Structure 1
Amino acid sequence: MRILHTSDWHIGRSFHGHSTMDALAEVLAALTAQVREHGVDVVLVAGDVFDSATPSGPAYTLLGDALVALHETGARVIVTSGNHDSAARLGFQARLLRDGIHVLTDPLAIGTPVTVSDDHGPVHFYGIPYLEPAIVRPLWPDAQLRTQAQTMAHAMDLVRAGMREHAGRSVAMAHCFAAGVDATAGLEREVRQGGLDVVPLDVFSGPDYVALGHIHGRQQLSEGVRYAGAPLHYSFGEQHKPRGSWLVDLDASGLAAVEWLELPVPRRLVTLTGTLDEILTEANVAAHADDWVCAVYTDELPQSDPMRRLRERFPFCALVQHQPTSSSDDGHLSYVERLHGAVSDSERIEAFLEHVRAGHGPTVLESELIRDVLDERVRDEALV
């Protein structure tokens, strides 16, 4: 059986104020052509189909067009929800889709597979939607589910229980931050890197292949546990990471081969660093006039209207940053930098407490109280 593993489409996300809908439609059309060219049997979309819990009308249209096009190649399509998706809205759409397109958003159905057969017998696909511990904890009151690691471990126990009931090869899909990810891989903007939210790699033992989503750069954590990354570059931090998907072959005994399929980049991303005059040289303009440009100018003083000057030469200049070469370190800057690097509310609170307490962060009791308050907020937002 031949499987294509993709994820993190983020339909509806903007790029520094610019719509990405047309570019994503172009890339998904190329992905569909690869599905047809390589005779793919099953396409897996491992979460974050949408960028928002309340997608726009055009976002639904693009998703519908993409799923129908993939289905028309003859492939089955299996989609799970991510942390950006509304599982309820994505799950509602599942009722309207045709046979051969499966949208898996129900945590209580994790142990029930979608089964697709080939000449060697059945392959069972287990879809794990994104699981926020504070929201799913009431579903399994006897389990201790305070962290992503605990919650994903429980979900994989359900998968392995399903595997014992359904003989044959198996594939799992999940959306989380797994241990072993390269921190330079273009991390998704809300990925929590704190130790409590990292899922150990051995949690995913059992299936022949595990298709992960949440990280925007491709990653191979083991031979059979991988991230495909996003099909588009959604930030300048991702600019050097290839875009594509994994082509996975299963034979009679399990995982046989995995190949990377490159996707086209509709518009390249480039970061130009130097004084403003150096960035605006004819050589740079000739090389990058059609690229998305992040300009980091190093003049000692801020320049007048730099974005206007840059866009006169680079029509797709999206971001300007002033980083003088001789900046002073007054302590306040390091605090601001730490806040900028924080990727979760708990990390931002910790950074603030360390700043105002001369390096002393929250106590164990305070950490528990902070986590309880944040969990309560998540639950309240889920009910809105």
Structure 2
Amino acid sequence: MRLLHTSDWHLGRAFHRVNMLGAQAEFIGHLVSTVREHAVDAVVVSGDVYDRAVPPLAAVELFDDALHRLADLGVPTVMISGNHDSARRLGVGAGLIDRAGIHLRTEPAACGTPVVLQDAFGDVAFYGLPYLEPALVKDEFGVEKPGHEAVLAAAMDRVRADLATRARGTRSVVLAHAFVTGGEASDSERDITVGGVAAVPSGVFDGVDYAALGHLHGCQTITERVRYSGSPLPYSFSEADHRKTMWLVDLDAEGAVTAERVDCPVPRALARLRGTLEELLADPGLARHEEAWVEATLTDAVRPADPMARLTERFPHTLSLVFDPERAPDDPEVSYAKRLAGRSDQEIAEDFVAHVRGAGPDMDEQGVLRDAFDAVRADEAVKEVAR
């Protein structure tokens, strides 16, 4: 069976001040063409269809168009909700849409109930594991202390239990939206850390033939059977080095996996430039970036006059301008944001405690801080679901 694995469309999201709806529509057209041209048997979409729980009308209309075009092809599509989606909204009408071959899986309780498709070699069971917010699903899965690994492992236990009841030789595909150990994150993914831990081990997916992952925006191979498709379009400058693709995955009669990448159309290249204003304006080696979307970081000791206006004369698609004079890391003038870059909420809070009282928190106090952050995150998740 040939699968097309994609995820993280983030319909309705902009790139800085650029409306991406046109590029997203172009991607949908490319997706449909790829399904047709490569004789795809099933499409899997691993979450974050929308960028937010209540998407703009134009994004909903684009999604509706995508569903109609996929249904018209007669190729089954399996989708799950991600952490940006409202699972309840995305899942409205799922039972009816099933009849058109579009299978929306947004209910955690249905993790062990697959969509079963057939090819010349027999059945392939597709298990949809929507994004599982630990605080909200711990009771459903009987998990005492919520965490991503615990709830995902419990969901996979249901998958394996169901798979064990099926005919010998049934192949299996799991769709999941999670941060798996070994994956490389970017700035555009929403933090899903719980209890100080965001990642789960890839071994949680043992026992299935292919795990089609969503959440991380870079196309990545965790193992031969566990892969991220990444987002089809860039949503932050941290993705400047990404090659935006989908996975074309073949499952043979024994469930062995072969996969190749299919490039996605992107409207412009991304470039992150750093130097003094005069260096950026004069360097001939930067000519290749003149039509790119540009993030420029200026290192001038003194802020130059009209830097954006001058930059856009050479780089007309400059979207982000950062002023970051070269200074030693311990220089008191180094910005607060720079000192905090790449640090978790937990680490920042622990440093604050150490700064205030002269000693960092002990293990019990670290636990109190973790519980507090988890409680806030759970409360935000409940509010998001209720919207």
TM-score by length of 1: 0.91
Q: Deviations over 1:272-318 (max 9, x none)?
A: 22211221238467533321011111111112231222223322110
CA contact (8 A) 1:175 1:214 kept: yes
User: Any residues of structure 2 matched to 1:106-185 within 5 Å, and which?
Assistant: 106-140=107-141, 142-167=142-167, 168-182=170-184
Please name the residue that 1:383 is paired with. 386
- Between 274-283 and 356-365, the greater mean CA deviation after superposition: 356-365
8 Å CA contact 1:186–1:216 kept in 2: the answer is no
* Deviation by residue 1:225-255 (Cα, 9 ceiling, x = unmatched): 0111000011111111110011111111102
1:265 maps to: 266
SS of the aligned residue for 2:144 comes to: coil
**Counterpart amino acid of 1:181?**
G
Secondary structure at 1:229 match in 2:
coil
Pair 1:212–1:321, CA change in 2 (3 A): same
Identity percentage of aligned residues: 45
Q: Provide the aligned length of Structure 1 versus Structure 2.
A: 381
Aligned residue for 1:299, secondary structure, equals coil
Which residue does 2:8 correspond to in 1? 8
Cα gap change, 1:63/1:379 in structure 2, threshold over 3 Å: closer, same or farther? closer
- Cα distance in 1 for partners of 2:275, 2:349 equals 35
Moved more, 167-176 or 306-315: 306-315
Indicate conservation of the 8 Å contact 1:128/1:173, yes or no.
yes
- Secondary structure of 1:40's partner? coil
1:69 aligns with 2:69: yes
**CA contact 1:186–1:237 (8 Å) conserved in 2:** yes
Using the alignment, how far apart are the partners of 2:81 and 2:165 within structure 1? 25
Residues 134 and 378 in structure 1, CA contact (< 8 A), matched pair in contact too = no
Once the two structures are TM-superposed, the CA of residue 359 in structure 1 deviates from its matched residue by 6.1
Q: 1:178 to 1:357 in 2, by over 3 A?
A: farther
Secondary structure of 1:83's aligned partner: coil
Alpha-carbon distance in structure 2 between the residues aligned to 1:358 and 1:40: 61
Q: In the TM superposition, what are the counterparts of 1:165-314 in structure 2 within 5 Å?
A: 165-167=165-167, 168-182=170-184, 188-192=189-193, 196-281=197-282, 283=284, 286-314=287-315
Aligned-pair distance for 1:266? 1.5
- Residue 336 (structure 1) shift: 3.7
1:155 Cα deviation (Å)?
0.8
Matched residue, 2:41: 41
Change (3 A) 1:326 1:137: closer
Cα 1:231–1:331, aligned 2, differ >3 Å: closer, same or farther?
same
1:145 to partner: Cα distance: 4.4
TM-score by length of 2: 0.90
The aligned amino acid for 1:308 is A
Task: Measure the CA separation in 1 of the matches of 2:278 and 2:339.
Answer: 31
Letter in 2 for 1:68: H
Aligned-partner residue type, residue 180 of structure 1: G
Q: Deviations over 1:329-360 (max 9, x none)?
A: 236848643533245x5455345434434461
Structure 2 gap ranges (5+): none
C-alpha spacing 1:144/1:197, structure 2 compared with 1 (3 Å): farther
